Structure 1
Amino acid sequence: MTDTRVLVTGGAGFIGSHLVDALLARGQAVRVLDDFSTGKRANLPENGRLQVIEGDVADLSLVRQAVQGCRSVVHLAAVASVQASVDDPLGTHRSNLIGTLNLCEAMRESGVRRVVFASSAAVYGNNGEGESIHEETPKAPLTPYAADKLASEHYLDFYRRQHGLEPAVFRFFNVFGPRQDPASPYSGVISIFTERARQGLPITVFGDGGQTRDFVYVADLVEVLLQALDAPELEVGAVNLGLDRATSLNQLLAAIGEVLGDLPAVTHAEARPGDIRHSRASNVRLRQRYRLPEPATSVHEGLRALLDA
């Protein structure tokens, strides 16, 4: 299947490296474009069908080179930290929006049509909080990161209408699993909690722990991304990638304790201003268009796989 080479931007990162593994496992050739600012070479296997290009999606000439000879693209490269975008809006804008626009242009020039894009639940802001958030929930990005993701969606739709690109846009909720670096400022709460629990270090929860998130195990998410690459045709419109399943931080900590057999001291600090208390995806559209693993990986099962990795 070397004639179906896939470009994965951000392919050395947490999600990207799992996707690369899955693509290689089914015999495809893969090209990774990654600047290794957060991705790790150790996440990538030695494989004759894997080519790695080190560089930034903000470099148009390099993106043009990376797209050449590919059948499709999965665009995961981004500065995935909300706080980094607040601290450095211009720098993150180059990666998160200019990078997307560069990719659209390179694909148009090369005649590559299919692109799978990682957007974010952050585009909704506080709208839909406490409810099952559906795709038509009003968008209200509160940070440069969220604004860049929403603008990227609009650019992809423009290139669809004007130039025939075939974008599959997914708004990721809270993805977790092995290779999520707990030392990274971009890391999710699960990787931070599990790493501290493994080391017997105290865990700090901001707020009362009643806040909830919709956690998706990385292997389940990758399965959906593969289906989007393979689909003969794509329906228009972004798709929430979540399970419509709310787990509180208190429930999460209890599950970590069950898997490990013990839990270190947990302390509570003041809730952080601006933190969304409840976030849960409506996945009606997801289930209409794609097949989720049945049953989807539970938080408990995902934690066990993460802690055993």
Structure 2
Amino acid sequence: MICIVTGGAGFIGSHLVDLLVENHHQVIVIDSMVAGRMANIEKNLAEITFVQADLLEDGWQKHFAGADRVYHIAADPDVRGSARKSFEVYENNVTATIRVLEAMKEHGVKEIVFTSTSTVYGEASVIPTPETYSPMIPISIYGASKLACEAMISSYAATYGWKAWVYRFANIVGARSTHGIIYDFVQKLRANPKELEILGDGRQSKSYLAVENCVKAMIFAPEVSNDTFNFFNIGSEDWVNVKRIAELIVEEMGLENVKFNFTGGDRGWVGDVPLMRLGVDKMKSLGWDPEITSEESVRRAIRATIAE
């Protein structure tokens, strides 16, 4: 199969490229390298086609000719920062997605896999939150942009007879990540191993899943689900709170007597969802299992971040 991976030099994208190459697919990576890193795909460069391009510009569309499936991962993933740069997030997430869909239409590509987010649900009143939860009321610009992308993908799939698979992720963690709570806490403690600022009250509780398990799910679902628009939650079956993550990082870094300074409030920033756990029964009904808890996912990610 000829697979295009947008954002394939980034965190999740590069792990997906690893697995696609391992499964002997022909892979074309399109990445602007704003957030992507060549080191993430270096070991696969002899096996893949790499195209450095911005999806908001032109020239990359020709690479869609002959492709079987697009894994559209490229996006601005900064939930916290999306409040400061709302139009930029819209352009990089929504406009870029529509341009990908137009390239698919032009070149006859009929399958798309899209990485969405748990934040499309907003502050859900049902936890664990199933895929059927409504109404979806995002409280972050980032979450709203991803929900808009889902709607556009659904409409293109229905209109042009495509197949689409949309994944609403919990917090995906692991090696190669360059943002998020684990990365931020490790950097803070390297700068000052005596104190750690923690946004909110530390009780924010969310589901986490190791990136290796995440990309396995991304490849698995298209093999067993065949609706026009397939949508799934991907996450673990439990959660862990922010204070516990801080404790695990202190432990893994071998630090002692670290003072935690909480900024207060029930959330870390505007748009933060303080309680998030996704229901994954739909994926499990197909034969998938997360295989790992939130705490173990976090611990593995901490070790990988420290080692990098």
TM-score for the superposition, normalised by structure 2:
0.88
Q: Does 1:163 align with 2:160?
A: yes
Q: Does 1:134 align with 2:133?
A: no
Q: 1:207 aligns with which of 200, 204, 210?
A: 200
Q: Secondary structure at the match of 1:175?
A: strand
The aligned length equals 299
In structure 2, runs of 5+ residues without a counterpart are: none
Q: Does 1:257 align with 2:254?
A: no
Q: 2:142 aligns with which of 140, 145, 148?
A: 145
Q: Secondary structure at the match of 1:77?
A: coil
Alpha-carbon distance change, 235 to 304 in structure 1, aligned in 2, over 3 angstroms: farther
Take 1:227 and 1:259, find their aligned partners in 2: how far apart are those partners? 32
Deviations along 1:273-294, one digit per CA (max 9) or x if unpaired, are: 5432211111111212351353
Q: 1:177 Cα deviation (Å)?
A: 0.7
Q: Which residue of 2 aligns with 1:49?
A: 47
Alpha-carbon distance change, 295 to 92 in structure 1, aligned in 2, over 3 angstroms: closer
Deviations along 1:165-223, one digit per CA (max 9) or x if unpaired, are: 21100011111111111xxxxx1101212333456533211222111111111111011
Q: Would you say the 8 A contact 1:116–1:228 is kept in 2?
A: no
Take 1:265 and 1:50, find their aligned partners in 2: how far apart are those partners? 47
Question: Bigger CA drift: 188-197 or 243-252?
Answer: 188-197
Q: 2:94 aligns with which of 78, 81, 97?
A: 97
Q: Secondary structure at the match of 1:62?
A: coil
Q: Secondary structure at the match of 2:145?
A: helix
Deviations along 1:118-140, one digit per CA (max 9) or x if unpaired, are: 111111112237x2111122200
Q: Would you say the 8 A contact 2:11–2:176 is kept in 1?
A: yes
Q: Which residue of 2 aligns with 1:268?
A: 262
Take 2:286 and 2:227, find their aligned partners in 1: how far apart are those partners? 9
Question: Bigger CA drift: 5-14 or 266-275?
Answer: 266-275
Larger relative CO (CA 8 A, sep 6+): 1 or 2?
Answer: 2
TM-score for the superposition, normalised by structure 1:
0.88
Give the 5 Å matches for 1:279-294. Answer: 279-294=276-291
Q: Does 1:193 align with 2:190?
A: no
Take 2:292 and 2:119, find their aligned partners in 1: how far apart are those partners? 26
Percent identity, aligned pairs only, is 28
